[in-house]
Structure 1
Amino acid sequence: MKSNENNEHNFSLATETKNILQKHGIRLNKNLGQNYLIDDYKRKKIINFANISKNDTILEIGPGIGTLTIELSKKAKKVVAIEQDKKIFEILFERIQEENISNIELINDDALNVEISTFSKSNKIVSNLPYQISSPITFKFLEFDFDLAILMYQKEFANRMIAKVGDKNYSRLSAMLHFKTSIEFLDNISPQSFIPQPKVNSSVVKLTPIRNESFFSNKTNENDYSLICRALFPHKNKKIRNALIDSRNILGYSDKKILRDLLDSSPELESFLVKRVVKTSPEEILELTNLIKPILWG
């Protein structure tokens, strides 16, 4: 019986979505990440994960025609929704007007260009993100103080976010997020839950910011850590010494021998240089960064 109820809800949401799109002559563009959720059961789960109260202001990126937005507005104090596509924005604006909803602030802009002060109006984030901006928008979220984020990503991207040291998915993304947020896997969502159906599976994760600035003594230190990660992870199965030499241009060196001699000149680096990148923890990469900075850049 429960399965039949879910099917009815899914049919209703799918029909509602298709009807709205047909009414406005909209053909969704998968290349722009326009894959709309039509699974009501999954929609309810996503919203419930956020544990929303009337004290919460929710940030949503890429609301589309309001599949999550309108339901979020019923539970939250306010929803700030940022939609880049002008025509989709106008459809959602019309829906909000028709349903006489007063607690949604709708912004027609590219979320990557929106001032962080707009984001900081919110204390929670709930979004089915456009997958092509997953990385930059996630790091932008982490520039402001929020309680939690419930976010849908391409499953492959989510796997790299949550990967541990030594895992095949351990990556620059894993290392960069390690000091900024705790990440919890919540759910998988199949392509059949969307129209049009994407060619990839999706995952829902929860981000909870880590507010401990002691990891990075200053912004320059964080930038150096990022640079070392960028140099190491394209060669993650190599030893650190070889990875750094192969990425010498990233480090500001063109001559392989000069960089090799600098690396080999420091006994402090020896234990790091023989380790494979994939087996090196973020804490170790940070320690390596602090040791290598005066050697490479004075």
Structure 2
Amino acid sequence: MLSETLKILKQNGIKLDKRKGQNYLVNRDILSKIIQNSELSKNDRVLEIGAGIGTLTIPLAKNAGKVYAVEQDGKAANVLKKRLEKLELDNVEVIVEDATKMDLPSVNKVISNLPYQISSPITFKILENPFEMAVLMYQKEFAQRMVASPGDRNYSRLSVMMYLYSEAEILFQVSENDFFPKPKVASAVIKMQPKIDVDIDPFFVDVTRAMFQHKKKKIRNALIDSYHEIGDVEKSDLKTIISQLDQTKMNERVFKMSPEDLLKISGDIKKLV
């Protein structure tokens, strides 16, 4: 795959920019594992974000009914269109846009080697739209944060939100050597399946953001230090509210709290605001 990728890039005068997340997968075994875990059929409508020159797009098109391939780089998108035309694959719609700013098409699966610099915003955008399953590649460290448990070093606000929104698991890791150009970090492929009828209170999102800005501090101190993240609550008012809550919980470290604990704390604060 490496020689094929280099040939296509050279023929089309494309120079990849690692700063834009342009690291193309060049290991056919990894590509096959992504397709296998995607469990595709001709009934599937698939969204791919960061399609590039079509390394993943083409096998997706061969196995799914419809593919929406989003690629912000117009030059790479034109190469992809030419490759699809040559292979007579007419079930792909190439969309030249920034995936974080567009309305996502209606699909049942999202399969992508994501540009790592948009990992967080695009993940939450995907979760806000209906889908059945996603198989996504991330930077390894980011993937570990997605599935971390309370008390783990990688436990974060992202871990909490992922737990509430979906069932997620790391399927396998991917070496730096499986890409061109070679990135400085390892990667991992995650499978996500959304939980049904999830409705997250925006107030909870604010409270959680406030707490995890200081995740190693006691909850009371983390909240007070980031009071400005919680709506129009004044610092003095928040101190009064905290004094009325369960003091055992208020003295716990943020990173040790389960998502359920954090939901309870947020709900108690909201009642007193």
Q: Aligned partner of 1:230: which letter? A: R
Question: Which range moved further: 247-256 or 197-206?
Answer: 247-256
Cross-structure match for 2:173:
188
RMSD between superposed Cα atoms in Å:
1.4
Determine if contact 2:215/2:222 at 8 Å carries over to the other structure: yes
Cross-structure match for 2:258:
281
Distance 2:18 2:240 in 1: 49
Cross-structure match for 2:37:
49
Determine if contact 1:235/1:243 at 8 Å carries over to the other structure: yes
Secondary structure, in 3 states, of the residue corresponding to 2:188?
A: strand
Cα distance, 1:212 vs. partner?
3.3
Distance 1:205 1:124 in 2: 13
User: Which of these residues, 48, 60, 64, is aligned with residue 60 of structure 1?
Assistant: 48
Q: Aligned partner of 1:232: which letter? A: M
Determine if contact 2:23/2:179 at 8 Å carries over to the other structure: yes
User: Which of these residues, 194, 209, 212, is aligned with residue 209 of structure 1?
Assistant: 194
Cross-structure match for 1:153:
138
Count of matched residue pairs? 273
Cross-structure match for 1:22:
10
Determine if contact 1:112/1:137 at 8 Å carries over to the other structure: yes
TM-score (structure 1 length as normaliser):
0.88
Over residues 104-123 of structure 1, what are the superposed CA-to-partner deviations in whole Å (9 max), with x where a residue is unaligned? 1111111112213x1x1x11
**Is residue 234 from structure 1 mapped to residue 213 from structure 2 by the alignment?**
yes
Cross-structure match for 1:3:
none
* More helix, by proportion: 1
Q: Which stretches of structure 1, 4 residues or longer, exceed 4 Å deviation after superposition?
A: 252-258
**Paired residues for 1:1-298 under 5 Å:** 13-116=1-104, 118=105, 120=106, 122-213=107-198, 216=199, 222-252=201-231, 256-264=235-243, 266=244, 268-296=245-273
Distance 1:87 1:145 in 2: 30
CA 1:130/1:289 → structure 2, altered by over 3 Å: closer, same or farther? same
Distance 2:241 2:44 in 1: 53
Determine if contact 2:206/2:231 at 8 Å carries over to the other structure: no
TM-score (structure 2 length as normaliser):
0.96
Determine if contact 1:232/1:277 at 8 Å carries over to the other structure: yes
Q: Aligned partner of 1:212: which letter? A: D
CA 1:103/1:176 → structure 2, altered by over 3 Å: closer, same or farther? same
Instruction: Kindly name which structure, 1 or 2, has the bigger radius of gyration based on alpha carbons.
Output: 1
Q: Aligned partner of 1:197: which letter? A: K
For structure 2, the residue ranges without an aligned partner over 5 or more in a row are none
Determine if contact 1:269/1:291 at 8 Å carries over to the other structure: no
Over residues 35-85 of structure 1, what are the superposed CA-to-partner deviations in whole Å (9 max), with x where a residue is unaligned? 000000110011101011111111100110000111111111111111111
Determine if contact 2:241/2:269 at 8 Å carries over to the other structure: no
Cα distance, 1:209 vs. partner?
0.4
Determine if contact 1:163/1:169 at 8 Å carries over to the other structure: yes
Over residues 192-251 of structure 1, what are the superposed CA-to-partner deviations in whole Å (9 max), with x where a residue is unaligned? 0000000010000100000133xx4xxxx6201110111001111111001101112212
Secondary structure, in 3 states, of the residue corresponding to 2:201?
A: helix
